[in-house]
């Protein structure tokens, strides 16, 4: 049986990007079948060499891409690059404002050559008073209210993942998808912009609307008044922890019956969820004492048996062995540029019951330079000449 065609097969994306935001956009499009070509300098994308919390950036966000290493500051390198861009449906970039324009690689310049071109820019801010600033995920989390909401009162704290970079790239890809659909009708491309700050505002908009509705500013999540009577992390036997939730009146009865807490179930002060929210100050210490004699696994089993929400406190690396992810195909094998084999997380969706996997491993620097230039009409002698001049690198 022939393999099912992927949604964006036949769409070519030329990607000028580094770090997380731009590469996420290309990864999403690549996972969905697009031919994504990553433009790298001869020495390679600096993201490849990051340490610490940045060590996972390149292998996570650069699968299903081809790498071409080229010095387009050189006139011959720019000529090669323009030939490649002429074959593209989409150009994606996340460089500082004005950088692409200085090189003649901005939307206006490229769309003059190809009016069907779709051009997506990933920036810190959409055009306006802040657009000259240098932005990072942590910067916009601080100025956009997310760090305030994540940390304890008086202690702003960034979220535990690159949420704006990743979601900003996803929204960039969403814009590309919408522009491709419009191009089918109009025949013309367009410029798309996605930005970290505006993405962050979208994430905290529920708290903005809470203020609009109630007139009361939202409290940081660790200091908030919970909407639910039981919705918290519990410390239990053997110094373990588990998150437990009881969010409806029917769940409250099930919970009380499951743990033999008839006195709590029948207490008129705890009859409704709102009653339990108001009673949290005295109710929660009592419940914590009741539940502390159980182990986390025992609590998880009893909550699962009774259809109650719960969650183990899991560290990210432990997810590589998660039984659900393994059995449902949420993790896929991948080979890193240094030859190491591991698993990677796929897009969190299915299409027609299937997950979209890894077709191309994260590329070595210039791994596809030769093949791509031959496709553009360069013969072996021309490739060798360009290599000798350090205009290109063929891995």
Query: Is 70's pLDDT higher than 60?
Result: yes
**pLDDT tier at 227 (50, 70, 90 boundaries)?**
confident
The 10 Å CB-count burial string (b at 16+, else e) for 255-269 is: bbeebebeebbeeee
- pLDDT digit string, tens, across residues 72-96: 999 999 999 999 999 999 999 999 9
Render pLDDT for 260-299 as a digit per residue (tens, 0 to 9). 999 999 999 999 999 999 999 999 999 999 999 999 999 9
Please, what are the domains in the chain? Answer: 12-204+322-393 (3.40.50.10540), 226-315 (3.30.1540.10)
What is the pLDDT averaged over residues 46-55? 95
pLDDT band at 1 (very low <50, low <70, confident <90, very high): very low
Q: Per-residue pLDDT averaged across 97-107, rounded?
A: 95
Assess whether pLDDT exceeds 60 at residue 34. yes
Please give the pLDDT value at position 2: 55
Mean pLDDT over each residue of the chain, to the nearest integer: 96
């Amino acid at each position: 049986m022939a393999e099912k065609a992927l949604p964006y097969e036949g769409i070519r994306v030329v990607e000028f990007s580094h770090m997380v935001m731009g590469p996420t956009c290309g990864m999403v499009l690549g996972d969905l079948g697009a031919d994504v070509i990553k433009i790298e300098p001869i020495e390679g994308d600096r993201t490849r060499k990051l340490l610490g919390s940045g060590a996972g950036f390149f292998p996570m966000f650069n699968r299903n891409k081809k790498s071409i290493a080229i010095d387009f500051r050189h006139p011959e390198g720019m000529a090669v690059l323009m030939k490649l861009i002429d074959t593209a449906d989409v150009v994606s970039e996340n460089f500082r404002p004005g950088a692409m324009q200085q090189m003649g690689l901005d939307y206006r310049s490229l769309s003059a050559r190809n009016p069907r071109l779709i051009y997506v820019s990933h920036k810190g801010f959409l055009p306006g008073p802040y657009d000259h600033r240098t932005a990072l995920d942590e910067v916009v989390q601080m100025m956009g209210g997310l760090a305030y909401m994540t940390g304890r009162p008086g202690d702003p704290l960034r979220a535990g993942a690159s949420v704006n970079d990743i979601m900003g790239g996803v929204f960039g890809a969403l814009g590309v998808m919408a522009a491709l659909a419009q191009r089918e009708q109009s025949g013309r491309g367009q410029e798309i912009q996605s930005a970290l700050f505006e993405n962050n505002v979208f994430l905290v908009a529920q708290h903005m609307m809470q203020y609009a509705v109630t007139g009361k500013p939202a409290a940081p999540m660790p200091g908030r008044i919970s909407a639910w009577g039981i919705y918290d992390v519990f410390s239990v036997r053997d110094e373990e922890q588990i998150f437990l939730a009881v969010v409806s009146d029917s769940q409250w009865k099930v919970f009380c019956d499951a743990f033999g807490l008839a006195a709590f179930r029948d207490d008129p002060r705890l009859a409704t969820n709102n009653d339990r929210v108001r009673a949290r100050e005295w109710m929660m210490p009592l419940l914590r004492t009741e539940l502390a004699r159980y182990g986390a696994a025992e609590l998880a089993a009893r909550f699962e048996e009774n259809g109650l929400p719960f969650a183990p406190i899991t560290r990210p690396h432990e997810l590589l062995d998660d039984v659900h992810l393994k059995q449902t195909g949420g993790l896929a094998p991948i080979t890193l540029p240094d030859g190491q084999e591991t698993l990677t997380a796929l897009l969190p969706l299915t299409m027609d019951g299937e997950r979209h996997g890894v077709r191309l491993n994260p590329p070595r620097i210039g791994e596809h330079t030769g093949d791509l230039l031959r496709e553009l009409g360069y013969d072996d002698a021309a490739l060798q000449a360009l290599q000798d001049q350090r205009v290109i690198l063929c891995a």
